[in-house]
Amino acid sequence: MTEGSLWNKILGFAFPLAFTGILQQLFNAADIAVVGNFTGELGKACMAAVGANTPIISLIVNSFLGISLGTNVVIANAVGKKDDETVQKALHTSMIVAVIGGIIIALIGELLAVPILRSQNISEESLGMAITYFRIYIGGLPVILLYNFEAAVFRGMGNTRIPFVALIISGIINVILNLFFVVFLHANVEGVATATVISNMISSIILLFFLRKSKTAAKFDEKKLKIDWRILWKILRIGLPASGQAAVFSTANIIIQAAINSLGTSVAAASSAAFNIEIFSYYVLNSFGQACTTITGQNYGAKKIDRCKKTLKLCMLEGIVIEGLMVFTLILFGKQLIAIFNPDPELVEIGYIRIVLITSAHLFSLFYDVMSGYMRGYGISLTPAIITMISVCGIRIFWIYTIFQQYHTFESIMTVYPISLGTTSVLMFILLLIWHPAKRFGKIDKA
């Protein structure tokens, strides 16, 4: 990442990462599609049950993924500096954090499952199934987090292809297991939750195999498993602000999901189906943000500030083109895609509202994701996180408790997305002008 042409390196990094995210989401999409089509009269209730879990599970998983971003940046900087010892320490420290953290959070989640889901305004016909899905999914959290921390190690090394291959294999297994449990064993949400956990376990084992066989500094050796507290502090210094941002972001989405659930089972099911389509667009834009973080991190480690600035410009330009094509495609075929989950005409029309309003606002997300990713590559993590928490989350929470109370419709809820994302992109641009990291850190390095 520190030598040669950048534009193809960005695409080579971003594309596998985007497809990896999409495959991960297909785990959840496959869950909803299978229960929506193969559980008869329970279809809508099952879809609503799985969909109600999405923001809560995102809160838990994404909070830890924020910490894994610290692993990504620390390893990327070390690679740029050719510091193999730091890569080794960051790898083994991260593996311990993933497993122990996953076990602790899983135990807490099991205890709080019922009160958490009861607070979500879930209809009685869906509540029991939502609790069942949550408990099974959260029980698999250690392997889910392990996969994501392993993937962060690969990203820090500049390799997004191996995690992509792992998810292709586990994704195919997930779909097969979904159909086996639901169609042949006549299970519903418990079947698809179990399939998802098994699939994540397989993907984490595959990545562990490649790390054990690695001929790079990122080689896993169980004999070296211990926490290096200095490296952990470096990871947390970058990762905790991102984790806090993800937690507040997900909390705002939980509040939004509760508002959606209050509009009835059909609206909740439609929103759940649409989410599993529009999220593909998010993974595309997010891949350019993560590419900017990793490539900037490596080049900052190598003290190549000009390449850092060029990375920002190219990630923005290439992201606009690719994300624009994705948004156009999803809006064009949105109704047909929703019908895959459930062909009910009312459900399709409601879900399409979400796809149009949110995907069209994803270009704003691209702008602030790439800019914040660029700053994180330099180790600037807290301020972008605060900006995102205040603007995205603050606006959404305020909107639900004010505007939505006056205009109690699904369209009213969805309108907050373009408003909050547009505001955040403007504020992030102002922050970038104020920090001007290339100029500030370039002077420090020269000094």
216 sits in the region (left: phi over 0; alpha: psi -120 to 50; else beta) called: beta
Task: Tell me how far apart the 2 most distant CA atoms of the chain are, in Å.
Answer: 70
- Tell me, yes or no, if the pTM score tops 0.85: no
Two tokens, residue 427 = 């504020």
End-to-end CA distance of the chain: 25
Quote the CA–CA distance of 288 and 215 in Å, as a whole number. Answer: 27
DSSP 391: I
Rg of the chain, C-alpha, whole Å: 21
Two tokens, residue 24 = 């991960």
> pLDDT tens-digit profile of 76-126?
788 878 888 888 998 999 899 889 988 988 888 888 878 878 877 777 778
CB burial of 390-419 (b: ≥16 within 10 Å; e: otherwise) equals ebbbebbbebbeeebeeeeebebbbbbbbb
Quote the CA–CA distance of 223 and 79 in Å, as a whole number. Answer: 22
Angstrom distances, CA of residue 160 to CA of 11, 235, 290: 11, 20, 11
* Residue-by-residue pLDDT tens, the chain, 447 positions: 667 788 888 888 888 778 777 776 766 667 777 777 766 777 777 777 777 777 777 777 777 777 877 887 788 788 878 888 888 998 999 899 889 988 988 888 888 878 878 877 777 778 888 888 888 988 898 998 898 889 888 888 878 788 888 888 888 888 888 888 888 888 878 888 898 899 889 989 999 999 998 888 888 888 888 988 998 998 888 788 877 777 777 778 778 888 888 888 888 888 888 888 888 888 888 889 888 988 888 888 888 888 989 999 999 999 999 999 999 999 999 999 988 877 888 889 999 999 999 999 999 989 988 998 899 888 887 888 888 888 888 898 899 999 999 988 999 999 999 999 999 999 999 988 888 887 776 665 554
> pLDDT tens-digit profile of 229-268?
998 998 888 788 877 777 777 778 778 888 888 888 888 8
Strand, coil or helix: what is 340? Answer: helix
